[in-house]
Amino acid sequence: MAYADAVVAADGLLHHGADRALVESAVPGTDGVQMLVRALIFRLVASSELAGPDASPPAAEIQRCHLTVDRVRDWLTGHQHPASGR
């Protein structure tokens, strides 16, 4: 169940502008962070698979993943992401 919740949280972060509160309520604690990281990897791999064997995920999808990973890393280290202030 935690992984499914993490996928929902990852989608919220990637595509719907969700904030830290969603993540903390959906997948709390250290285990939740691990599930979130796995869910973000899953979404990037799925996007890559949809692009086909000779293509890459769309640049916008890669950028969203980078920004989301930066936000999560900043939450974990206590820093603010300069672009979003979150």
pLDDT reported for residue 59: 87
Identify whether 83 is part of a domain.
no
What pLDDT was estimated at residue 86?
Answer: 47
Q: Give CB contacts under 8 A, 24+ apart, made by 47-50.
A: none
Q: Is residue 66 part of a domain?
A: yes
- Is the residue at 82 inside a domain? no
Tell me if 60 is assigned to some domain.
yes
- Domain assignment present for residue 86? The answer is no
Question: Which residues span the domain enclosing 39?
Answer: 2-77
User: For every one of its 86 residues, what pLDDT tens digit does the chain have, with 9 covering 90 and above?
Assistant: 889 999 999 999 999 989 889 888 998 988 888 999 999 999 988 888 888 888 888 888 889 999 999 998 988 888 765 554 44
Number of domains in the chain: 1
In-domain check, residue 85: no
Is 84 part of any domain?
Answer: no
User: Would you state the pLDDT for residue 38?
Assistant: 93
